[in-house]
Structure 1
């Protein structure tokens, strides 16, 4: 096989640095990373959305974090360290000369051509196919957590049966795309076709199938009235959108968003000249608004409970700036308002005279808004109804389940809960929180899959999410109880960095147009190296703190 070689001066890549180099042709790129006197060469782009990894964050252990959505890889092996990436990096040969003056990178020509296009599901695994031994692992749910668990089982070499049940009628999808694009074609949303999951990964995937009960003593789940046995059970049913209990909430053109079936029904939102009312100023709501406002609606109204959108999460100043951005794009806000009713066609002697569709939305102050479509984005609840009367499970008030540091349901050795339903320990003192981030679910699943496969990979990430709100917003941490915000940049220009602090401690960081600050701060938070509030106010720059060189001292 023909090979190609590139030489570069070692001084071009210092300890702790990365560099993207051309490898023979314009579209052939290789990432070269250096940690001390060790050099590594991999494919150059994140396998999630194609971000250039050279602009990411490199840690001393060889972990590189994507600058856009926080996928993590090992530059030493190409392995996926954390989601949302689903595929490993390709690795090539890199050598530092004895006199440490040059770096030589060598790779097969054809492989470098394919490296940034062709997917490589596993790097570490020797998995060669499933064996029909025992009852195996049953996964309830086909979302981020369920898929993360299934793929990690294979990635870490598990060869037993893996059975997945999902109520959705498609293979697991890239769910954040739903609110960011309103796509309704499974082929554009599925991570992998069902055939690949079944035949390449050996996952017995059952779509359009609901688990209705669990018997932890018999170690079975009930599907279509029949008991199916398991050795290990992973509960990953995700959550379900709320509908506020008001008249008209069940009209045909009142939508919530969770799956492809929903976006299929919502395609009318893209039509010009329609009147749209969005109840709730949540992230999902405002991502939908960002999509729809480009299509010249006749009117676009948002009803929110806070004084500005995102006030509880992002604070008033950034919420106000985002609100102004949307207002400039034709959105009308009705904040600190309650929705009292959704009105449809008139009735005569109790009978509807037209179709069962909403025509207007009434607010608490008496305002009535014309509506061709209504969207409710008012939060979600854990989809654990099938466990509600089960004595083996103690559901929290919100419907979630408490788990331990290994994501086991408390009191149940062989049952795990991940993602939106899991109240999991988020700090060293064991504080339990339930976090509805897609990345959290993905990496919960990956952690459980690795554990069951015999290669414990404890979940210890800082929660991260992103949102499309005119510009890409990045967020890391858990900032619910912040008492002040340190803002750098210009919020109204949607170009800023904000630190959410409690006393001297930074709880969370958010940015727009400042990649990869949030990903760097997530690493600093994870290792206990984040500057204090006083240091930040005095101008300290987190980007100047070294987590990448071989001499960096990390907390863990």
Structure 2
């Protein structure tokens, strides 16, 4: 017996072209209605990433709904995923207009928040989908997961094999720094068993790749030199945390963060009463500062090379405001400084006792420390490619892998892709090669490559980068602001309620905001469509949210 119900949920007159509304559907159910021209569409109402109400996001005339929190995007006409970090599609419901009312037909169980995401279609080839060569993915992070999701979503029914150094299925790595979650089962996008049964994916954990043999189209694994064959290869090995080349860097309580085991060590080593020294004022460093602030530490000292934290990315004004916020929470900053050495404890030479800091005055300061977190960036995790003949022209001295607009590795036969933190890829519009260490970029590159492989035609990577950080009142950011030469500030930085526009050659290239959702979601779409207002318009008070991109009348500007 069908469990579908048809309910009149709204007067048609209340939903204009370009509108989105969340409406009730029996008991606790919710449905998102979207109108594009004369067409009314109905989907589940919440983002499948963290459950944000999509009605508070951004709708575009080409059917995209962008989450107001983290940039996940769906197609309102189909419910399908458009952009990461959405891990699942939305339910799509039948919507029709009768007698001036919008009627929605849905299974009520699929409208409640506990079941708002659509399960993947079971593959007809699941039983045989893990045998043979097919697609092999080296690396088990966000890029790998979204590549799997995209391959299946777009119809690829061959075998998929993932070779991962980690001991767990792909995780939501952002929760490591933002919340110091240490239970891998609470971080996994899908358990290994579900990746096998629902996605036909063989996940080989704790598996280290030592090289790639392009001639035989195999990946060489472990000390046994096992050769794993591939038809198409995706390199998605991410980054390796850097350590400053200073004395004492390898003491047992000097921590870096990349995986769950790192989070466990930090969690165990940073307790009430700890004197914590953080080297580097990066986003990872400062997110960990936020994560441990409530532990009643004895002290938190941050050492940074710039004048203000995040200065290179966010600028001096916003960096200064965020530094003041952290100072109000008891954090001490030592900026324009560098670490001279890390000194062992007098009572235990295997552990840190203090950190010697070179100050801008030329003097040195000794900071007592029970634990040190080193957040000074990551290097591409591509050591295995140094032993791989044929990659000499593609891998630069930093370990980055040069790819084309389709994310295919430079100079190879087109069957090898590189994505995520290791990929040096051309920027849309300029062609400038850049490596961007954003988690959303990795996810969206996985989705682009998955579609390219599944459909057999190139899917250029043109997504606008988006990231967020647990700073102040939740920072949002979109675009590529490297080399900005001016900023426009709308709002009050000291109150942490603002929009900051980053300009280069009198053009907006990036936007940051706090307590102004969904401005960054709207800005990412304006950058995509070429409809971003000019700096003069913004200085005159133009509101991004007033720019019409949601009605079918909206047309992109002609360059």
- The normalised TM-score by structure 2 is 0.95
Contact 2:110 2:116 in 1 (8 A): no
Give the SS at the match of 1:85.
coil
Give the SS at the match of 2:321.
helix
Could you give the per-residue CA deviations for residues 490-534 of structure 1, whole angstroms, max 9, x where no partner exists?
111111000000132001000000000001010000111101111
- The partner residue of 1:550 within 549, 552, 558 is 552
- Aligned residue in 2 for 1:296: 296
Matched residues in 1 for 2:541 and 2:117: separation?
A: 42
- Aligned residue in 1 for 2:97: 96
- Aligned residue in 1 for 2:329: 329
Deviation at 1:397, TM superposition (A): 2.8
- Aligned residue in 1 for 2:308: 308
The 1:30/1:227 distance shift into structure 2, 3 A limit, reads same
Could you give the per-residue CA deviations for residues 38-95 of structure 1, whole angstroms, max 9, x where no partner exists?
0011100000000000011111111100000010101111100111011010111111
Give the SS at the match of 2:86.
coil
Between 1:447-456 and 1:142-151, the stretch displaced more is 447-456
Give the SS at the match of 1:507.
strand
- Aligned residue in 2 for 1:219: 217
Alignment of 1:37 with 2:42, yes or no, is no
Matched residues in 2 for 1:128 and 1:17: separation?
A: 40
The 1:478/1:191 distance shift into structure 2, 3 A limit, reads same
Number of residues of Structure 1 aligned to a counterpart in Structure 2: 545
Matched residues in 1 for 2:218 and 2:525: separation?
A: 40
Written as runs of structure 1 = structure 2, the 5 A alignment for 1:38-437 is 38-97=39-98, 101-113=100-112, 116-117=114-115, 119-122=117-120, 128-129=125-126, 130-131=128-129, 134-224=132-222, 225-346=225-346, 354-364=348-358, 365-393=363-391, 394=393, 395-412=395-412, 413-437=414-438
Matched residues in 2 for 1:7 and 1:78: separation?
A: 19
Matched residues in 2 for 1:140 and 1:382: separation?
A: 13
Matched residues in 2 for 1:110 and 1:513: separation?
A: 33
- The partner residue of 2:14 within 12, 15, 39 is 12
Written as runs of structure 1 = structure 2, the 5 A alignment for 1:490-529 is 490-529=492-531
The 1:133/1:297 distance shift into structure 2, 3 A limit, reads closer
Matched residues in 2 for 1:440 and 1:447: separation?
A: 10
CA RMSD of aligned residues (A): 1.7
Give the SS at the match of 1:406.
coil
Matched residues in 2 for 1:171 and 1:127: separation?
A: 23
Give the SS at the match of 2:494.
helix
Between 1:246-255 and 1:365-374, the stretch displaced more is 365-374
- The partner residue of 1:486 within 478, 485, 488 is 488
Give the SS at the match of 1:200.
helix
- Aligned residue in 2 for 1:539: 541
Matched residues in 2 for 1:378 and 1:46: separation?
A: 33
Contact 2:84 2:443 in 1 (8 A): yes
Structure 1: stretches of 5+ with no match in the other structure:
347-352
Matched residues in 2 for 1:157 and 1:127: separation?
A: 11
Contact 1:167 1:207 in 2 (8 A): yes
Matched residues in 2 for 1:511 and 1:32: separation?
A: 27
Deviation at 1:408, TM superposition (A): 0.2
The 1:549/1:116 distance shift into structure 2, 3 A limit, reads farther
- The partner residue of 1:459 within 456, 461, 474 is 461
Deviation at 1:173, TM superposition (A): 0.4
Contact 1:503 1:533 in 2 (8 A): no
Deviation at 1:358, TM superposition (A): 0.6
The 1:22/1:269 distance shift into structure 2, 3 A limit, reads farther
Matched residues in 2 for 1:223 and 1:121: separation?
A: 33
Contact 1:269 1:276 in 2 (8 A): no
Deviation at 1:178, TM superposition (A): 0.3
Contact 2:65 2:75 in 1 (8 A): yes
Deviation at 1:199, TM superposition (A): 1.9
Contact 2:8 2:101 in 1 (8 A): no
Give the SS at the match of 2:532.
coil
Structure 2: stretches of 5+ with no match in the other structure:
none
The 1:523/1:75 distance shift into structure 2, 3 A limit, reads same
Contact 1:169 1:208 in 2 (8 A): yes
The 1:428/1:76 distance shift into structure 2, 3 A limit, reads same
* Runs of 4+ with >4 A deviation: 125-128
Deviation at 1:355, TM superposition (A): 4.4
Matched residues in 1 for 2:440 and 2:307: separation?
A: 29
Contact 1:79 1:122 in 2 (8 A): no
Matched residues in 1 for 2:131 and 2:201: separation?
A: 14
Matched residues in 2 for 1:17 and 1:433: separation?
A: 37
Could you give the per-residue CA deviations for residues 99-149 of structure 1, whole angstroms, max 9, x where no partner exists?
7x3322222333334x652542437x9765253664111100001111111
Deviation at 1:159, TM superposition (A): 1.3
